[in-house]
A and B are shown apart, each in its own frame.
Chain A
Amino acid sequence: MPLRPIRRRDGLRHSATVAALLAASGLLPLWPSALRAQAAAPGSPAAPPAWPEHWPGPWPQAAFQASDLARMLATLGVAQPQPSPAVRLSAPELAEDGRAVLLGVATELPGVQRLALLVAHNPTPLAALFELGPRAVAQQALRVKLARSTPVYAVALLADGQALFAHQDVQVSLGGCG
């Protein structure tokens, strides 16, 4: 007879443990960082991490499948890219570890809507495409993987449909994709 209540109690205890684990791992909607933010700003209205209303459109799959810069821009409906000294690319001449290489793109040109970073010899050349809101400075830096020594490109897409780019060769000692 005592078997049933003990089982039920165990079940309750286990489910409590599982719930605590889920909460700790962030799977339950109890975000620690959100709680921290609210604790840090008690005067402001509670700020739960609401999913943004204007989420970016679908992930541009065709752009990520394109095999080079010109084809990638074609999928975005942009004409031939022009090299330009107004676009600055920061990349190391020599990367010892291709698994994490910091690439940067910056420009002072007006009307920049999008910035892109490409790694020519990677299986997926397009690494990142940034869509800038009006308050974002046209400057981005991101750590990417380089499979082997390769040219890298920084591209600025302007509101008038122009695409300007800078490029540089990076020597890689240890490849980062394989």
Chain B
Amino acid sequence: MATLPQASTTPAPAPMPAPMPAPVSTGPQATRLRAQRQGEVLTVRLLLSHAMDNGQQRDPDGRLRPAWFIQQVCVTLQGEVVLQAHWGPSVARDPFWQFQLRGVRAGESLAIHWVDNLGQRRSDVFVVP
């Protein structure tokens, strides 16, 4: 009944109008980056935020979740493309990606852009340490 105490941290139950299968994560979240310099080589470790649904997983109520995954990632340094990736649905949820770049100077701006199969995009800019 109404006597049940409600935890103060629980947000008010929002009305769920969406009849569509809702994506697991909500909207694009910031890409996280760690960069480490070894000589003239910069090792970049990225953690992107995405459900990466391959279209074969089911909701708790048994409905197939449609495929929803990052298709292309573009890495730019000072606005110039240095690396591009095409990904398929086999990439893991919240993708971890590591790569290395040569001759990157401290203070340059490194940008990570991605677009998924539904056309959703995100860009994150970092300053090279």
Residues of A with Cβ closer than 8 Å to B? 25-27, 31-34, 37, 40-41, 44, 47-56, 59-60, 63-64, 99-102, 104, 119, 122-137, 139-145, 176-178
Contacts and interface: CB of A to CB of B under 8 A. Distances in A.
9 contacts: A52-B76, A124-B54, A128-B91, A130-B99, A135-B82, A137-B100, A137-B102, A139-B100, A145-B91
Contacts of A142: 91, 95-98
B79 interface: yes
Contacts of B92: 99-101, 143-145, 176
B83 interface: yes
The secondary-structure label for the interface of chain B is strand
Interface residues of B, number: 52
Interface of B: 26-31, 41, 52, 54, 56-57, 71-72, 74, 76-77, 79, 81-93, 95-104, 107, 109, 111, 113, 117, 121-127
A177 to B, nearest CB: 6
Given A37-B127, A52-B76, A55-B74, A124 B89 contact: yes
B99 A140 contact: yes
